Structure 1
Amino acid sequence: MSDLFSSTSTNFDEAPKAKSGSVDPELDNFLMIEKQKAQFTAQIHEFNDFCWEKCVDKPGTKLDGKTETCLNNCVDRFIDVSLLITNRFAQLLQKSAGGM
C-alpha cells in the first residue's frame, strides 16, 4: 500500500508554471492539500485492512464486544505508531536543517 503514490503516472509535485516561470502558489497549495487528502484516505484504508485481518475471525451481522475492543485498540495503536514515526522524522528533519 505504501507504493500507492509512487506508482502513479501523474506527478503531483510538478505543478504547471505560471507566466513568470514560477509555480502558481494557489495551484501549488491546492495540489498539496489534495495530496494530503489522498494520503489520509490511504492511511484509513490501511487501518481498515490491517485491523480487520487482525481482529475479525468471521464476519457476522453484529460485532461482539471482543471484536469491537480489538478493533478500537488496533486503530489506537496504529495511530500511536504513525504519530511516533511522524514526530521522529520531523525531529530528524529539524536536526538536519539546523546543522546546515
Structure 2
Amino acid sequence: MTENKSIDPQIEDFINAETQKQRFQVLVHGLTDTCWDSCMGRPSTRMDSKTEVCIMNCVERFIDATTFITKRLMNTTKYRSDAPLEF
C-alpha cells in the first residue's frame, strides 16, 4: 500500500527551477554545436568576419525558431484549455 505524501512546495519549486536551468543548458549546448558545425571552417586564433556573421545569423535563427515554437505551443495549449470538455 502506498501513502499519499505531498511534496514540500519549496522543494518542488527548487526542483522545477533546477529542471528549467538544465533544459536551458541543453538548448545552449545544442545551439553551440549546431552553429559551430555550420559556421566554423578551420579554427584559428581569431574569428574572421564571415564566421562571426554566420554565427550571429545562426543564433538569431535559432532564437526566432524557438520563439515561434514556444508561441505556437502556448496558443495550442490555450486553445485546448478553452475548448469545452467532451464526454
Q: Report the TM-score, using the length of structure 2 for normalisation.
A: 0.89
Q: Which runs of 4+ in 1 moved over 4 A?
A: none
Q: 1:90 aligns with which of 70, 74, 85?
A: 74
Mapping for residues 12-27 of structure 1, pairs under 5 Å:
21-27=5-11
Match of 1:43 among 23, 27, 41: 27
Which residue in the other structure is 2:16 paired with? 32
Offset at 1:24?
1.1
The alignment-based identity, stated in percent, is 37
Residue identity opposite 1:35 in structure 2? T
**Count of aligned pairs between the two proteins:** 81
* SS at 2:67 equivalent: helix
For 2:12 and 2:22, how far apart are their aligned partners in 1? 15
For structure 2, the 5+ residue unaligned runs are none
Higher relative contact order (CA 8 A, sep 6+): 2
Could you tell me which residue of structure 2 aligns to residue 69 of structure 1?
A: 53
**Cα root mean square deviation, aligned:** 1.1
Structure number with bigger Rg: 2
**Cα deviations across residues 21-68 of structure 1 (Å, max 9, x unaligned)?**
212111110000000000001111011000001000111110000000
- 2:62 alignment partner in structure 1: 78
Structure 1, gaps ≥5 residues long = 1-19
TM-score (norm 1): 0.78
More helix, by proportion: 2
Which amino acid in the other structure matches residue 79 of structure 2?
K
